[in-house]
Amino acid sequence: MLPSVRIGSLPVVIVLSVVLGGCAYLQSSEDTLPALSTDGTSAVGDTVADSVADSIADSSPDEAAVESTTTSTTTTSTTTTTTTIPPPLGVDELILRRDGIGAALFGTDPDSVIRYLTSVLGAPTDDSDWVDPSTYYACAGTVVRRVEWGVLAVMFGDESDTASGRAHLMSYTYGAVDRLGDEPRELRTSSGLTLGSTVAELRTAHPDVVFDEGDPDVDIPPTFYLPGTSPSPTGLLTGTGDEDLVLVVFGGSGCQA
């Protein structure tokens, strides 16, 4: 059984993970995320061709020759095509939000979320597939699934504060207590916090942050909790002093990854 942390009323399962990287776009709705989209513009110049009619000067009848002058002018068309393709998005697309990760909101169907994260980070490094929560995770519902991209893991299930009775994204975990610096790096919260941020930076960004000293005797590390809209981000720390570091960031509810 994995060690568990209780933050507020939220059980947290601490799990270690592995790596990868990639890029893309998506916008989500409650159940689906639309496919990759790109924006482009093109401008094509019009073809202009102007012909000047022949000018003919007639001579008098007794002139031996008839002088004929023909002038023709043609303007050749010019075609210009311009296509603008936005640069590929990277991990800066995946903001660790209160209501999801990047464009993948809690409650979104699993296949859409996996496609989205794969387009940004590459193929998952691990996938539990659908399992009974009573045998693998201490989660509600009838099934759960954990998918990992290095030290980023997402949890799917059919029972959480967001939705019930259908498979959906429930939560994410970014980081592992003994793998600070592993890929994917530089994922951040909307306030700019990331793995390795100091407790002093955490206090500055969130003056209302709440700390728990943890219990080293049972391998429960110090934790932090951000009050506010539920579910609220939480995380694990090396300690609660100003120089201590953020090790893990959790988001979502129902069952932590």
Residue-wise pLDDT tens digits, 150-168: 999 999 999 998 999 999 9
Q: What is the structure's pLDDT at 68?
A: 44
Q: Are 14 and 2 in contact (CB under 8 A)?
A: yes
Q: What is the structure's pLDDT at 230?
A: 61
Closest CA to 12 of 212, 241, 243, 245: 212
Give me the chain's average pLDDT, please: 73
DSSP symbol at 78: -
Q: Give one DSSP letter per residue of 79-101, joined into a string.
A: -------PPPP-GGG--EETTEE
Q: Give the residues of the chain that fall short of pLDDT 70.
A: 1-89, 229-231, 256-257
pTM: 0.65
pLDDT in tens, 54-78: 433 444 444 444 344 444 444 444 5
Q: What is the structure's pLDDT at 229?
A: 62
Q: What is the structure's pLDDT at 169?
A: 97
* Tally of CB atoms within 10 A around 152: 30
